[in-house]
Structure 1
Amino acid sequence: MGLNEAPLLFDFETQSSENLTFIPMVVRFNLDRFGLRISLAQWQMLPHEDRKLLARFPVNDDTSIEPNFDHALFEMLRTHANVEPEWFTPEDAPGWTRTDAVPDGVARQAGLAGLPAPTPEQWAQLDPFRRYVLAKLSRKPESNHDFVPAMREFGLAGR
């Protein structure tokens, strides 16, 4: 699978990621699936065109489909920041990959926002990338400002 024609940004992240100042979810997804960690400062050291390219990589959870994200990131960081990303071992079966149960963090985040948690049926109908996004936005115990807009965009909360 090749690169997307344009950076893959959700409506809820367009304002904060329009100029790619912050790491968009598509890049976070690929960092997590390859077991790579970079800081916001490292991300911001990359030229805008490089950030744009990294945001065009596909969001399949099979690392064998698009193995060039990690290589591209390494080269970009070496060239522009003289650093390398940090490695970690990705979870074997993160909660967002399950379709039979809504992760506790997502239910907790919905409660913090005064929203009903997605039902297991709604959760199962979301594509894997959207499940990843909601789980990622729910990883901390405090309220996330992007959670409600993401729930709305994904059809899980009223406008």
Structure 2
Amino acid sequence: MGLHESPLLFDFELVSSEDLTYMPMSVRFNLDRFGLRISLAQWQLLPHADRTLLARFPVDEDASIEPNFDHALFEMMRTHANVEPDWFTPDAEPAWRNGSAVPASVVEHSRAAGAPVPSAERWGQLDPFKRYVLSKLTRKSEPSHDFVPAMREFGLME
């Protein structure tokens, strides 16, 4: 699978990420997949064309499908920010990969937002990338303003 024709953005991201000032979830997914970390300030140092290219990479879990994200990011960061991304060891079994159990953070955020808690069955029917997004949006204790819109967009609430 090659690059998408345009940046991969969910509807709930359009307000904050359409101009790519902020990192879209697709870029966050690939950073996490490859064990790379860059700051928002570093992201914003990249030219818009480079940010657009990074947001067009596939979000499949199979790293062999498109192994060039990490290489592209390193080159862009060296060229435009004179830094390299930080490395970390990705979680081998993140909670979002388990399609049979809703992560505790998603349950807690659903309850705090007054949203229905997804059933294990419905959670398992979600595309893995959508499970990643919901998990990512619930990684901090304070609620994300994108959580409820994402739940709506993914068909988990009205």
> Residue 79 of structure 1 corresponds to which residue in structure 2?
79
1:19-73 alpha-carbon deviations (Å, 9 max, x no partner): 0000000000000000000000000000000000000000001112111000000
Alignment RMSD (CA, Å): 0.5
TM-score between both structures, scaled by the size of structure 1: 0.98
- Partner residue in 1 for 2:69: 69
Counterpart CA distance in 2 for 1:116 and 1:15 is 25
Aligned partner of residue 148 in structure 1, secondary structure: helix
Instruction: Specify every segment of 5 or more residues in structure 1 that has no aligned partner in the other structure, as ranges.
Output: none
Partner secondary structure for residue 101 of structure 2: coil
1:45 aligns with 2:45: yes
TM-score in terms of structure 2 length: 0.99
Match of residue 153 from structure 1: 153
**What letter matches 1:36 in structure 2?**
L
Q: Distance in 1 between matches of 2:73 and 2:143?
A: 30
* CA apart distance, 1:79: 0.3
Q: State the secondary structure of the residue aligned to 1:140.
A: coil
Secondary structure of the residue aligned to 2:66 is: coil
Give distance in 1, aligned partners of 2:135 and 2:16: 19
The aligned counterpart of 1:34 is: 34
For structure 2, the residue ranges without an aligned partner over 5 or more in a row are none
Residue 95 of structure 1: how far off its partner (Å)? 0.3
Name the CA distance, whole Å, in 2 between partners of 1:37 and 1:106. 23
In the alignment, which residue of structure 2 is the partner of 1:19? 19
Moved over 3 A (4+): none
Deviations 1:62-98 (A, max 9, x none): 1121110000000000000000000000011100000
